[in-house]
């Protein structure tokens, strides 16, 4: 009989275990996380803009350097006059 009572209490369990009611702290935490996500996305977008600008500058610099190297090679191939 004692065993059956123990089994029954284990099956029923405690109703509050594993269940948490949302309270004010949960709402504040959720709002904080949402603001944090928004801030992170804004920072990411700003980083992308900066990165794209740098890549454009590098590309422009490379084109200028390749043009300069091409002229130097042309002068060297022409040789002394």
Evaluate whether residue 53 is within a structural domain.
yes
How many distinct structural domains can be found in the chain? 1
**CA separation for the pair 59, 57 (Å, rounded):** 5
Parent domain of 57: 44-76
Most confident of 5-9, 12-16, 35-39: 35-39
CA atoms within 13 A on the CB side of 81: 2
| Confidence (pLDDT) at 79 | 84
The CA R_g of the chain, rounded to the nearest whole Å, is 35
Q: Is residue 14 in a domain?
A: no
Q: Is residue 56 part of a domain?
A: yes
9 inside domain:
no
With respect to residue 71, please indicate whether it lies within any of the assigned structural domains. yes
Residue where the block lists tokens 């405690």: 14
pLDDT above 70 (res 70): yes
Could you read off the pLDDT of 13-35 as tens digits, one per residue?
Answer: 555 555 555 567 788 899 999 99
**Predicted pLDDT of residue 5:** 52
């Amino acid at each position: 009989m004692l065993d059956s009572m123990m089994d029954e209490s284990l099956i029923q369990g405690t109703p509050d275990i594993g269940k948490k009611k949302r309270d004010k702290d949960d709402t504040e935490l959720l709002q904080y996380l949402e603001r944090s996500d928004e801030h992170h996305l804004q920072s990411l977008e700003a980083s992308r803009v900066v990165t794209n600008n740098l890549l454009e500058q590098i590309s422009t610099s490379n084109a200028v350097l390749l043009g300069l190297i091409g002229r130097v090679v042309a002068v060297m191939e022409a040789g002394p006059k």
